[in-house]
């Protein structure tokens, strides 16, 4: 869709993906460490894989902007600028390069490159999240990684792979429906 010359289609797809990210953020299991299990990583990867690097990243930025102004789109129906400064804020910032890298990966046209770049985006997201968690909680980087990254890595890696597969399936269906190319 990103290559579409139709600005309405581009706007609608970006808005739909931002809304999907907001909905998937509400599927959340709170944990004692303060970082919940959510479907955000799946949705962020899907944004990039489905609508490409520019629009996928824009959809994530729209979602984050809505959260920043207080719209309760984050996990647990939360929002506000404070979320970006709190223990999970680094993960929120990390969604931006993750969506971009997923989008660049799918644009490369090779499955292994798409998954490799998606994995790199996930790694950046986890590094940013662990770093900020450590700063806010006063724990070492290693302790932060062990608390808020390692327990989620398998689920998040699986989410990136599933997002790639889902995007590929959705793209085929949209092409059959005459809605054009994606990413």
pLDDT tens digits for range 105-114: 999 999 999 9
Q: Output the pTM of the full model.
A: 0.92
Question: What distance in Å separates the CA atoms of residue 47 and residue 17, rounded to the nearest whole number?
Answer: 6
Task: Report pLDDT digits (tens) over 63-77.
Answer: 999 999 999 999 989
The confidence score (pLDDT) of residue 1 equals 41
| Mean pLDDT rounded to a whole number for the chain | 93
């Amino acid at each position: 869709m990103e290559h579409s010359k139709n600005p309405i289609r581009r706007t609608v797809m970006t808005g739909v993906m931002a809304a999907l990210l907001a909905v998937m953020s509400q599927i959340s299991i709170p944990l004692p460490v303060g970082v919940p299990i959510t479907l955000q990583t799946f949705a962020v990867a899907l944004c990039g894989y489905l609508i490409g690097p520019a629009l996928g990243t824009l959809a994530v930025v729209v979602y984050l902007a809505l959260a920043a102004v207080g719209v309760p789109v984050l996990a647990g129906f939360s929002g506000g600028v404070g979320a970006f400064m709190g223990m999970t804020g680094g993960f929120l910032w990390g969604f931006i390069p993750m969506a971009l890298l997923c989008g660049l990966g799918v644009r490369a046209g090779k499955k292994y490159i798409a998954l490799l770049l998606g994995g790199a985006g996930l790694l950046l997201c986890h590094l940013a999240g662990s770093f900020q968690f450590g700063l806010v909680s006063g724990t070492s980087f290693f302790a932060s990684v062990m608390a808020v990254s390692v327990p989620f890595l398998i689920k998040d890696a699986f989410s990136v792979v599933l997002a790639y597969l889902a995007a590929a399936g959705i793209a085929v269906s949209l092409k059959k429906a005459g809605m054009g190319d994606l990413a």
